[in-house]
Structure 1
């Protein structure tokens, strides 16, 4: 498989990773370097746009929601400079509307977090005619729901009432969910 990936990568192996989750982006950068990519990282929309304009990459992995804005701005900046770039948009919010918006802007593929390096590599290097294989051990629906609730809870500064309001959920129901252990 590594040889097939090398054949599809061609000469230009530049990869731009844009994500505000520092530990994630560092792990992903190391994993992608092992797969033959020349990796650059950015943690903000501004950094990503500047790197895209200065050195448009052949490949990019961009988080949809960044601390200073929307990752789709970085996708647009890459597309302005390099139309043949293969771009994967990552997000913790797997909604159809955002997937459609990402593809319309110019993303090659769209993956929900948590995505591992194998899934990202498959998406970057796929020729678009066939879907990448399904993950070997996908998260259960209960786990995806739990992760989404936890993320919103953290973004609301662990305020149960505000989280419940944003999730259109009764506060007591949310409290019971938060009191339980995470599903596997």
Structure 2
């Protein structure tokens, strides 16, 4: 049976509108009072307004870094528990997130149970390894697919959203031919 979190406020900071709303719905069904923000500015306003108990924060935001959100969160609520989500695993960033006060650093896609387990892990206890770990290449592929869907397959717009050169994205797509193509 799923745990319930009545009265616990969960801030979800994610620039992907669909993912943010889906995660918010799932977490509300678990009993959290959810607040959502699409970026650093909105997250800062939400933190100042309600000092959430928990936070799930995307690392790459359109107007800043999830690490900056952690700093603001900890300034307003030292006891708040936060998890960073990212499509791009990176050891120095993970270390920085934990040093700033994040309880964990999870690769996308992470499910609600993984996120809750990471938020609730006791201080000093290492969270369990993921049951179905995703490789960095797979995470990158999923992330690029999500952006390609947003732009209806437009390479130039996708590259701009990913903050990369169009030719770099084209080279990645040539190396990973199944991205953006229907199988069947």
Find the residue that maps to 1:60 and give its secondary structure: strand
Show the counterpart of 2:45. Answer: 50
Count of matched residue positions in the alignment of Structure 1 and Structure 2: 168
Show the counterpart of 2:22. Answer: 27
Choose from 101, 108, 111 the match for 2:106: 111
1:109/1:175 Cα in 2 relative to 1: closer, same or farther (>3 Å)?
A: closer
Contact 1:156 1:162 in 2 (8 A): no
Choose from 33, 47, 56 the match for 1:61: 56
| Greater C-alpha Rg | 1
Show the counterpart of 1:177. Answer: 175
Show the counterpart of 1:126. Answer: 121
**Cα separation, 2, equivalents of 1:19 and 1:28:** 10
Show the counterpart of 2:9. Answer: 14
Instruction: Calculate the TM-score normalised by the size of structure 2.
Output: 0.77
Find the residue that maps to 1:84 and give its secondary structure: coil
Instruction: Calculate the TM-score normalised by the size of structure 1.
Output: 0.77
Contact 2:159 2:166 in 1 (8 A): no
Find the residue that maps to 1:102 and give its secondary structure: helix
For structure 1, list consecutive stretches of 5 or more residues without a partner in the other structure: 165-170
TM superposition shift of 1:72 = 1.4
For structure 2, list consecutive stretches of 5 or more residues without a partner in the other structure: 149-154, 180-184
> 1:33-66 deviations in whole A, cap 9, x for unaligned?
1111111101110010111112101100111111
TM superposition shift of 1:143 = 2.7
Show the counterpart of 1:168. Answer: none
**Cα separation, 2, equivalents of 1:23 and 1:145:** 18
- Whether 1:91 aligns to 2:95 is no
TM superposition shift of 1:181 = 2.0
Aligned structure 1 segments of 4 or more residues deviating by more than 6 angstroms: none
1:161/1:51 Cα in 2 relative to 1: closer, same or farther (>3 Å)?
A: same
